[in-house]
Amino acid sequence: MFLSEAASSGPEFFYLVPLVVLIPVIGLLINIIFGKWMGEKAVGWIASAAAGLAFLVAVLLGYSLIGHPEGAVVPLAEWISIGEFNVAWAFQVDTLSVTMMLVVAGVGALIHIYSIGYMHDDVRFNNDPGRYRRFFVYMNLFIAAMMILVSADNYLMLFVGWEGVGLCSYLLIGFWFEKGEDGIGNALAAKKAFVTNRIGDFGLMIAIFIIFWAFGSLNFEEVFAQTSQVAETVILAITLLMLVGVAGKSAQIPLYVWLPDAMAGPTPVSALIHAATMVTAGVYLITRSFPLYNSAPQAQFIVAMVGGLTAFFAATIAVGQFDIKKVLAYSTISQLGFMVAAVGIGAYAAGMFHLVTHAFFKALLFLGAGSVILGIEHSHHHLEHGEHEGEGGGEFDPQDMRNMGGLRTRMKTTFWVYIIGSLALIGIFPFAGFWSKDEILLEQQMLDPPVYGLLLAAAILTAFYMGRQVLMVFFGKPRSEATAHAKENRAIITFPLILLAFFSAIGGILNLPRIHTFTDWLEHTVTTIHPVEFSFLTAVVASIVALSGLVFAWFIYDRRYKKQQELPAEKRPDDPLRQIFGPIFTALENKWWVDELYWVLFINPYIKFSYFLADVIDWRFWHDWFHDSVIVRSYNGLARFLSGPFDLGVIDGIANGLGKVTVRFAGSLRMIQTGFVRNYALSVFLGVVIIIGYLILR
């Protein structure tokens, strides 16, 4: 190839890699320090430029990798050095990490640009324009942390990035921390995400501890080189504990519950962090640790099973949601399940490929949803201002799909990009999702039929819920005043959408069958993957599944919906599926009551246990009984003993006794002092006699 020849003779840019972290940090520092005096525009563009420059650096790195596919490790500084054990701040540049960098910075930059327009309105709807700058600082911080995560050359540095993105996720979910249900809903959602992730991080930490214990190093290269020398059970423990971390970060069963609640954050956050990049960190971690997983087949089996179950389970819930972003959230969980299932069976290229295409179309869908929400909110506020008082703005939910409908003609650009995103997600030929999902299904079919079945079922549900969403949002008649008057957003919002739609449409060319550009690219790093032969049958089955889901959705949400609209309002169900499935739909709508189950199983017992510890152990036992009774009483007793019997008795007794003895002795001495001179004279006389007698007789 011409390009690779040019690159191999061309310059290397590996030494630039620290910039992917530094540039966003510089961007956020500028915004922190000078943002106050800069305009809103400048703040947004500086943040976007930081993300864009990071993307440029990633492109240069990728270009260098074409010529030098072995990559490089670029040390920046020594970090921890204890005897033989060394952990450095070193950046790993290889095809895997650069793929992640390109996705993070590329999608990130587009979402930054989108946010300039979106947050401009969002901060005004929420009556706090001052928070505009904070948003971009957090976003840059997220890019920096994510870059640390993907460019680390050891597990500890990876963990720093891992926690950094978790922190940004928390900060951005709780961005409107004083809003939400009862004024605390968003804060609770942020807390839930943080605590759930902490459970996952706990697993990852233990895994890192065991790696350190078993391998004596945290460096990827050194650890993977010794994999064959370590006992299989140890590797199994490491990989399974790592899976706990993956389940937390990548929202897999049983720790996925935080991701739907994370939709409390502004929509660009949902797109960037909770769909495109951060949540894929778990997939990246498994791919990065592929030598460990390859030597632990049991762990691989469990990973694939968790992924398959998550893909199916989350897809069922997505069917019963009414919040436009919640549907996408469960869809994200489901798609992450696809990726985890793929990397679980060792199909790392398929998993990573799906990660990349998913980043495009899911970011697109979220940003499209944001555009829809913004359009409806705009006209809602417009209407309110027109009527001066309105019907009480708090009751209207601009994210509820039951309030939407008919936006096809009102928001044309958004509609078309949304269609492209949906088709890519559903996996319709020739959009990006078709190729990546097909590759996953193909590998599953060969290696793990039960999971293949789960994924196929998830695929049909995916088609169904996306069809349902598109039909509910864009087709039919508007179901609220605000929707009826919604208008298309400005170019700054639609421009990133169009770009993402472009990538969602053509993303498949990254890894076309027979050419396998992406697989070859990754193979330099993930050495165990091999291109799989395209199977026409699998593709047809997948397409039929997707189309049948779409047709089913059309049948219910177009034909049936229209009929129901003619019914009188009180008889009209809010969703045609409720009529058909009844209680099952209620179960879906309530997310199978998993949150409630967790409350009953874990959270309530935990709270009760905390109360027990706080009230019974700490307060009653420790404070009331131990402190007040044991310590205080014994102290008082001792003090009383010391002040009473001991001080009064012994100490005073000694002092008084000395006095009494002195008095008595003095009294007896007093007898000598008669006061009669003759007595004294006699004493003198006798004394002289004695002395002289002694002198004479000695």
Partner 1 sequence: MPVISYFILSAILFTIGALGVLIRRNAIVIFMSVELMLNAANLAFVAFSRLYDTLSGQVFVFFVITVAAAEVAVGLALIVAIFRTKQSIDVDDMSSLKR
37 vs 676, beta carbon nearer partner 1: 676
Q: Does 674 bind partner 1 (CB under 8 A)?
A: yes
Whether 102 contacts 59, CB under 8 Å: yes
171-33-152 Cα angle (round to 5): 55
Phi, psi of 75 (to 5 degrees): -75, 140
Stretch that binds partner 1, among 7-15, 215-223, 311-319, 674-682 (CB under 8 A): 674-682
Whether 547 contacts 450, CB under 8 Å: no
639: which residues sit within 8 A by CB, 6+ positions away? Answer: none
Single residue of 15, 602, 612, 685 touching partner 1 by CB under 8 A? 685
CB of 685 to partner 1, least distance (A): 6
Q: Does 692 bind partner 1 (CB under 8 A)?
A: no
657 vs 687, beta carbon nearer partner 1: 687
Single residue of 82, 673, 694, 698 touching partner 1 by CB under 8 A? 673
**Residue 423 in 3-state DSSP?**
helix
CB of 637 to partner 1, least distance (A): 53
Q: Does 630 bind partner 1 (CB under 8 A)?
A: no
Whether 334 contacts 311, CB under 8 Å: yes
C-alpha 427/C-alpha 538 separation (Å) is: 12
Single residue of 567, 682, 690, 692 touching partner 1 by CB under 8 A? 682
**Residue 75 in 3-state DSSP?**
strand
Whether 123 contacts 147, CB under 8 Å: no
C-alpha 240/C-alpha 251 separation (Å) is: 16
Identity of the amino acid at 392 = G
Q: Does 671 bind partner 1 (CB under 8 A)?
A: no
33 vs 677, beta carbon nearer partner 1: 677
Residue 232 DSSP code: H
Helices 449-474/324-344 angle, 10° precision: 160
CB of 678 to partner 1, least distance (A): 6
Residue with tokens 């044991």: 630
Other beta carbons within 10 angstroms of residue 253's beta carbon come to 21
CB of 673 to partner 1, least distance (A): 6
CB of 672 to partner 1, least distance (A): 11
Q: How far is CA 300 from CA 244, 304, 344, 641, in A?
A: 13, 6, 5, 70
The 522-541 contact track toward partner 1, x by CB under 8 A, reads --------------------
626-646 burial, b if ≥16 CB within 10 A, otherwise e?
eeeeeeeeeeeeeeeeeeeee
388 vs 678, beta carbon nearer partner 1: 678
Stretch that binds partner 1, among 88-96, 423-431, 599-607, 670-678 (CB under 8 A): 670-678
Q: Does 690 bind partner 1 (CB under 8 A)?
A: no
Whether 140 contacts 50, CB under 8 Å: yes
CB of 683 to partner 1, least distance (A): 10
Number of residues that bind partner 1 (CB under 8 A): 9
Residue with tokens 């469990």: 302
392 vs 675, beta carbon nearer partner 1: 675
Stretch that binds partner 1, among 376-384, 567-575, 653-661, 678-686 (CB under 8 A): 678-686
Single residue of 77, 677, 696, 697 touching partner 1 by CB under 8 A? 677
Q: Does 676 bind partner 1 (CB under 8 A)?
A: yes
C-alpha 42/C-alpha 26 separation (Å) is: 14
Stretch that binds partner 1, among 408-416, 459-467, 647-655, 676-684 (CB under 8 A): 676-684
Cα 623 → chain centroid? 38
Peptide bond into 478 cis (omega under 30): no
34 vs 685, beta carbon nearer partner 1: 685
Single residue of 385, 514, 571, 678 touching partner 1 by CB under 8 A? 678
Dihedral (C-alpha) 254, 260, 261, 265: value to the nearest 10 degrees? 140
77 vs 669, beta carbon nearer partner 1: 669
Single residue of 229, 675, 697, 698 touching partner 1 by CB under 8 A? 675
Residue 533 DSSP code: P
CB of 691 to partner 1, least distance (A): 15
663 vs 682, beta carbon nearer partner 1: 682
Run of H or E including 67: helix 40-67
Q: Does 82 bind partner 1 (CB under 8 A)?
A: no
| Residues at the contact surface with partner 1, assessed by CB under 8 A | 673-678, 681-682, 685
